Structure formats: C-alpha cells, structure tokens
Amino acid sequence: MTEIEIPPELLPRDGRFGSGPSKVRPEALAELARVGDGLLGTSHRQSRVKDQVARLQDGLRTLFGAPPGYEVLLAVGGATAFWESLAFGVVEQRARHYRFGEFSGKFAAVTEKAPWLADPDVVDAEPGTRPPAGPAPGCDVQALTHNETSTGVAQAIERVDDALVLVDATSGAGGLPVDLTATDVYYFSLQKGFAADGGLTAAFVSPAAVARIEAVAASGRFIPTFLDLTTALDNSRKHQTYNTPAVATVLLAAFQVDWMLERFGDLAGVVAHQVEKSDLVYRWAEQRPWASPFVTDLDARSRVVATVDLDPSVDADEVNRVLRANGVLDTDGYRKLGRNQLRIAMFPAIEADDLASYTACVDHIAERIAT
Ligand SMILES: *Cc1c(COP(=O)(O)O)cnc(C)c1O
C-alpha cells in the first residue's frame, strides 16, 4: 500500500494536537532558553526563582480574577498526587463524585481506597454525557471535573449544597469559564491549558478550604508529609514548594499566563477564542457525512478537547496513522472508550488556523481511505 502524502499546503504549521500534554508554544521554549539560562540549576530557595513562582501565582490570580481571600497553592506531583492530598487533607468523612470518564473515575477510586473515609457517593453518567451536580447529604466534599479529558465533556461548575467544591480543572483551566466563588479547591496540572511541562499542580484555595485543611490536620489523622496540604500552603505563601520543583514548568506556565493576558486580556477573552476554535471543529464534523461530534448535548461539549466519531467506513486508527506519518500528532481517541473516534485538543496554545488545517488533512485522508 502506498503511503498517503498530505500536500504541504494543507499541513498545520504546528502538528501537535494531543490532549495531554499540550503543545508548548515554540516562542515559550525560546524564552525558556533565554530566561532559563542562569535560573535553571540555581537554588529554588533564593529570590530569583521564588520571584518566578510569585509571577506565576500573581498571573493566575489576575487571569482568573481570583476572589479576595483565595490563595494560589502550588504542589509537586501533578493532579494524580493532588488527589491523594485531597483524600488525606480535605475530605473529612465522605466525598460525592461524578464519574463520567477516566479522570473523574480515578479520583473516585482514590477516596474509595482510603480506609479512613467512608465509601464515596458516586454518581455515574454514560461516557459522552455529564451528570448534573446535586445535593449530597452526608458528604463534606463535592468532586467535580471541569473537563473530562477522556470524553470531551465539560461539567457545569456550581455549588449545590454546603459541601466544599473541589474541581479537577487539569485540562479545563484557562480554557473554560469559571466563577471561582463557586469553588473551594480549583486545581490543575500545568501541562494542559497552561502549555508547560508536567509535575506541578496549581490550585485556587478558598478561605473555607484553608479552614478545612487546618481542621483535618489538627484532628490527628495521619497525613504523609509529602502530601500534607498545610505544608504546601506554608511553602506556597513563601513562593516555594516542599521539595524541588521543575523550575522549567514554573517558567513555561508563567510565560503562558502572561501570553494569555497580553493576547486575550482576561479569561473571558481566552474563552471567546476557545468558542471560536471549537465551533470550527464541531461544525466541520457536523458537515461531513462520515463524522459527527460524540457529545450531543451542546452545553456539555468541551471547548478544549473535541471528540469526533467517525463512520465505520473511515477507520480512525488509519486516519491517525497517516496523520502521524505526516507529522500531525496524537489525536487518538481514548483507548478504553473503544470508539472509532478522533480526540482533538484545542488548548489555548493551539491556533485556529492549525485546527482548520487539521480538518483539511483529515478530509484529504478520508477521501482516500473510505471503504
Ligand atoms: C491529565 C489529567 C489528569 C492527570 O494529570 P497528571 O498531571 O498527569 O497527574 C487529571 N485530571 C484530568 C482531568 C486530566 O486531564
């Protein structure tokens, strides 16, 4: 079989469309080389590195219009480690979870395993849909997921009872609208919407969440030092982390926040751009007889990760194989979903023009492989 060559004029300028990690902007990498020389390899306890941590914290506060009293916490280990911190340090007795894909399910599995907590109260929804949040009597935490990265579904972020609202915003933060007053811990790794590298979690923490963290720590519960959120709070207030952070991640995220503010003004400006880009992708899918958006509820359709089902006549694995051979990367559907599907990241760093080129590439391939 002869390989399909995509004409160069159809190709995107940047072929990175993976849902995790995000494309890192080449300009940010160049800036890292410029600014990082003299910073990487120096002590993270000294002011020059701490200034960059503070710059990231301030930038995030500005971008999100953080309400008074909310702190920006930084924790080492990414969202996966942060789930453990939340189970140790924020959930008092029982958590309500909404499970509608891989990542929301993973946090539920963490609180389920924790022997010091009651079994979680889990509300399930079919992949491609989202469960509405509802009151959860007996639960002291509501665990929401802003963007379920595995299915391309966005959850509404709202307060429905007195429980603390914890939001895994790892892929949604910076691309989806949010009113932080409706949240108590809005947390995200920095390698998705903020186009940095992995390993660090940022979180907006409300005064109520700080009080809970302190109360749980004072209750005598065993909390591993590495996962202790009182330690993370202490360090974050001094623009540090408990152990050595990836300084390159701090810098890349700080560049990305500054770039968002410069180019789009504020979070609403970024979101407006996300709406444009995602409309482009979903409209394309709707107009092809062999494609359709997987998520049918328009309000649930993500503005940062698009999932597009293909007709059996167009094999998604083959489309992705040809794309990859032509330098267009990582739009495989989530394996465990088992669908004939493309999953296309539209994170803030990814340009509208490149998404338009992506769709042209898929058209080009589909015309040639359709059976
Ligand atoms: C990627 C992702 C995670 C995992 O993040 P890590 O930094 O790799 O731990 C968790 N939740 C969501 C929604 C994600 O998209």
Model confidence pLDDT, tens digit, residues 153-181: 999 999 999 999 999 999 999 999 999 99
- Is residue 307 exposed (0-12), middle (13-18) or buried (19+ Cβ within 10 Å)? buried
20 lines ligand 1 (CB under 6 A): yes
104 lines ligand 1 (CB under 6 A): no
Residue 275 Cα, ligand 1 centroid: separation in angstroms? 22
Mapped onto helix, strand or coil, the DSSP state of residue 339 is coil
Per-residue pLDDT band for 38 (boundaries 50, 70, 90) equals confident
Q: What is the 3-state secondary structure (H, E, C) of 108-176?
A: HHHHHHCCCCCCCEEEECCCCCCCCCCCCCCCCEEEEECEECCCCEECCCCCCCCCEEEEECCCCCCCC
149 lines ligand 1 (CB under 6 A): yes
**Whose CA is closest to 90, among 116, 57, 64?**
116
- Return mean pLDDT, the chain: 97
What lies within 8 Å, CB to CB, of 63 at 6+ separation is 174, 257, 260, 261, 266, 267, 270
Q: At 322, which amino acid appears?
A: V
Strand order in the sheet with 305-310: 291-293, 305-310, 341-345
CB 22 within 8 Å of CB 350: yes
Measuring from atom 13 of ligand 1, which residue has the nearest CA?
Answer: 170
Q: At 332, which amino acid appears?
A: D
pLDDT, residue 1, reads 57
What residues are paired with 308 via a beta bridge?
Answer: 293, 342
Residue 209 Cα, ligand 1 centroid: separation in angstroms? 21
221, 308, 333 from 158: Cα distances, Å: 29, 27, 29
168 lines ligand 1 (CB under 6 A): yes
Structure tokens at 76: 């080492």
pLDDT, residue 36, reads 87
> How many angstroms separate the CA atoms of 34 and 163, rounded?
45
37, 38, 39, 156 from 48: Cα distances, Å: 12, 9, 7, 39
> How many angstroms separate the CA atoms of 304 and 326, rounded?
24
Model confidence pLDDT, tens digit, residues 82-126: 999 999 999 999 999 999 999 999 999 999 999 999 999 999 999
Model confidence pLDDT, tens digit, residues 44-65: 888 999 999 999 999 999 999 9
Q: Which atom of ligand 1 lies at the shortest distance from residue 79's CA? A: 9
236 lines ligand 1 (CB under 6 A): no
> How many angstroms separate the CA atoms of 184 and 166, rounded?
6
> How many angstroms separate the CA atoms of 234 and 244, rounded?
15
Has residue 306 got a pLDDT over 80? yes
Model confidence pLDDT, tens digit, residues 182-227: 999 999 999 999 999 999 999 999 999 999 999 999 999 999 999 9
Instruction: Provide the percentage of residues in the chain whose pLDDT is more than 70.
Output: 99
Phi, psi of 178 (to 5 degrees): -155, 145
Has residue 288 got a pLDDT over 80? yes
Torsion, Cα of 342, 150, 260, 242 (10° steps): -140
Measuring from atom 7 of ligand 1, which residue has the nearest CA?
Answer: 78
CB 304 within 8 Å of CB 177: no
Residue 269 Cα, ligand 1 centroid: separation in angstroms? 24
> Hey, what domains does the chain have and what are their CATH numbers?
11-24+265-369 (3.90.1150.10), 26-262 (3.40.640.10)
Has residue 325 got a pLDDT over 60? yes
Q: Which atom of ligand 1 lies at the shortest distance from residue 145's CA? A: 13
> How many angstroms separate the CA atoms of 102 and 109, rounded?
10
CB 13 within 8 Å of CB 26: no
Q: At 361, which amino acid appears?
A: C
If you ran DSSP here, which 8-state letter would residue 98 be given? E
Mapped onto helix, strand or coil, the DSSP state of residue 95 is strand
Residue 46 Cα, ligand 1 centroid: separation in angstroms? 30
Select from 82, 103, 155 the residue to mutate for testing ligand 1; criterion: most ligand atoms less than 8 Å from CB.
103
> How many angstroms separate the CA atoms of 189 and 217, rounded?
24
> How many angstroms separate the CA atoms of 301 and 296, rounded?
7
Has residue 2 got a pLDDT over 70? no
Q: Tell me the average pLDDT across 322-332.
A: 97
Whole-structure pTM over 0.75, yes or no?
yes
